[in-house]
């Protein structure tokens, strides 16, 4: 699939992801059109493949970003029951997906990009500042980048005026392969809420499988294996 959706411009790439059924929701298409990948993947921004961003990290392929967004969309958009969605993007790397999330959560939403390498935290923020749309979302406090160990999740105080909604996450996206579904992540997931997480698994011929984990209103957790992937590991920071 990696070669299929490549384009010669951001609009071309997004059109190809739409044609191949990787993006199916008009709202998602709009968000991808608003965020130009050239601000995040300097080498070959419109190629449908992962690209190195330094520090042993990669920006994931566009079709993986599309799949991640589509798989969590039901909990991502503001709704009557969740008017201010909170999203945790673990392993934010380039910041690209953090920005896409922030385009979708609405004016009251909050997206936190979490990195364990401070230079990559800064890179995500700097990349997002390159466009007026990204800059505005950062200034409005809808998106922010922090440093920490993603295996522990992240507790972010509610924004002013949203305190009654608590600090649990409507969506947790993990952009690196975990050894297991770390329990703090499950604890910090809202009921209802959902998680997209690649977990080590050599039973599929791939290195890992992506799981979609759903927590319902009563707190009951169900897990669905989606597909095989190869992500960089969710681990200790590399020694330098």
Residues acting as catalytic residues: 60
What's the sign of the alpha-carbon dihedral 15, 135, 162, 118?
positive
Least distance between ligand SAH and beta carbon 83 (Å) = 26
CB of 230 to ligand SAH, least distance (A): 11
**Smaller CB separation from ligand SAH, 162 or 200:** 200
Look at residue 135 and give its three-state secondary structure: helix
Determine which residue in the list 22, 111, 117, 197 makes contact with ligand SAH, applying CB under 6 A.
Answer: 117
Q: Choose one: 21-29, 108-116, 159-167, 185-193; the region binding ligand SAH (CB under 6 A).
A: 108-116
d(CA 82, CA 192): 9
**Cβ neighbours around 58 below 10 Å, total:** 20
Q: Any residues with CB less than 8 A from the CB of 190 and at least 6 apart, and which?
A: 82, 86, 166, 168, 169, 170, 215
Q: Which residue intervals of the chain are DSSP H helices?
A: 10-19, 26-34, 62-76, 96-104, 118-129, 132-139, 183-188
- Residue among 5 and 165 whose Cβ is closer to ligand SAH: 5
Q: Between residue 58 and residue 77, which ones bind ligand SAH under the rule CB under 6 A?
A: 58-60
Q: Helix 62-76 and helix 26-34: axis angle, to 10°?
A: 120
d(CA 93, CA 83): 27
Binding mask 122-161 for ligand SAH (x = CB under 6 A): ---------------------------xxx----------
Piece in contact with ligand SAH (CB under 6 A), picked from 12-20, 99-107, 115-123, 157-165: 115-123
92 vs 209, beta carbon nearer ligand SAH: 92
Residue with tokens 């297991």: 180
> Which residues make up the interface to ligand SAH (CB under 6 A)?
57-60, 90-94, 96-97, 114-117, 120, 149-151, 175-176, 232, 234-235
């Amino acid at each position: 699939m990696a070669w299929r959706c490549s384009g010669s411009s951001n609009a071309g790439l997004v059109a190809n992801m739409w044609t191949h059924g990787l993006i199916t929701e008009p709202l998602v298409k709009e968000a991808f059109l608003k965020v130009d990948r050239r601000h995040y993947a300097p080498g070959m921004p419109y190629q449908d493949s992962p690209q190195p961003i330094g520090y042993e990290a990669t920006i994931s392929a566009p079709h993986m970003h599309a799949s991640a967004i589509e798989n969590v969309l039901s909990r991502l958009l503001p709704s009557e029951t969740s008017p201010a969605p909170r999203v945790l993007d673990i392993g934010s790397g380039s910041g690209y997906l953090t920005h896409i999330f922030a385009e979708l959560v609405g004016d009251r939403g909050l997206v936190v990009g979490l990195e364990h390498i401070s230079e990559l935290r800064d890179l995500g923020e700097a990349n997002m500042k390159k466009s007026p749309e990204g800059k505005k979302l950062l200034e409005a406090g809808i998106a922010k980048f922090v440093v920490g160990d993603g295996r522990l999740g992240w507790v972010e105080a509610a924004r002013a005026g949203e305190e009654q909604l608590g600090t649990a996450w409507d969506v947790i996206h993990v952009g690196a392969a975990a050894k297991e579904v770390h329990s703090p992540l499950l604890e910090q997931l809202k009921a209802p809420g959902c998680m997209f997480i690649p977990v080590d698994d050599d039973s599929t011929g791939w290195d890992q499988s992506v799981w979609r984990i759903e927590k319902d209103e009563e707190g009951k957790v169900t897990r669905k294996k989606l597909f095989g992937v190869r992500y960089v590991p969710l681990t200790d920071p590399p020694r330098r």
